[in-house]
Amino acid sequence: MPGQLKEVRNRISSVQSTQQITKAMKMVSAAKLRRAQDAIIQMRPYAKKLQELLSNIVSSGEGGGEMSLATERPVEKALLIVITSDRGLCGAYNANLIKLAKAAIAEKYSEQQKKGHVTIWSIGKKGYEHFVKNKFKAEATYKDIFLNLNFENVQACAQAAIQAFREKQFDAIEIIYSEFKNAATQRFVVEQFLPIPKAENKQGANKADFIFDPAKELLVAELMPRILNTQLYKAVLDSNASEHGARMTAMDKATENANEMLRALKISYNRARQAAITTELTEIVSGAAALQG
């Protein structure tokens, strides 16, 4: 019985130590989430308006040489930019992104994958480690962006993708990331990066008519790469906020589970302790009765 009590005490101590870690991680993630949430909330309207402008320009079919970025061609080689996190302990966040990437490959690029013509650029170490381990064609050039998250580092990735599309290294480029909704909710999406998608024509909608100054060709040549940079940066900021939200939620659940385990262990400890006391009392009473007899 003393051995059983010691075992339960050790388990209680272990769970309490784990609970302290989960509480600390939850607080750290909550602080990081506030900053990441502010960044994506401020960025989102700007990125959305730029994306609408880009889609409308592409739909008009006028833009000079830069319209090559909107030209669809048979897909022989595809690139997926998959944005995961650098660290774990964030629930099913990374698993859901990896699952979505695999589903996109199976659904859209199964033939290209068989030929080894699907490449994955991982932003975030978790995705890179998984894809390399599972024999996907993954590149590590941009996997450490989250170590120093800024526009310049993301811009380098976007510009490399644009250049690769221009040189016909890839015929389609897609971004797979988590769109931030709130701390407990993320939406996992596959978004077309190149060729630039055209605006959807809705019945009764007025066609956008822009006045360009300087000339449209010059303006579009300058705007298109910048807007694409912004599009990828927005996806990275979304993923950053989603990661911290997922980790905060996971650590909150872990802390609650630790509380439940502690309640159960304390009940078990008290029962074992009461049983030990009862056994000792019984032995004392039995011994006293034997002496009296």
Q: How many CA atoms lie within 13 A of 14 on its CB side?
A: 8
- Which entry of 57, 67, 90, 183 is annotated as an active-site residue? 90
Total H helices, total E strands in the chain: 6, 5
Q: Which two tokens stand for residue 96?
A: 């859901």
Q: Could you tell me which residues come within 8 angstroms of residue 202 by beta carbon, excluding any fewer than 6 positions away?
A: none
Q: Residue 177 — φ and ψ, nearest 5°?
A: -155, 180
Annotated active-site residue 90? The verdict is yes
Instruction: Output the CA–CA distances (angstroms, integers) from residue 28 to 149, 249, 251, in the order listed.
Output: 18, 12, 10
> Is 48:235 a contact under the CB 8 Å cutoff?
no
Residue 191 — φ and ψ, nearest 5°? -120, 130
Contact status, residue 175 vs residue 235, Cβ threshold 8 Å: yes
Q: Which two tokens stand for residue 10?
A: 């050790």
Q: Which residues are catalytic?
A: 90
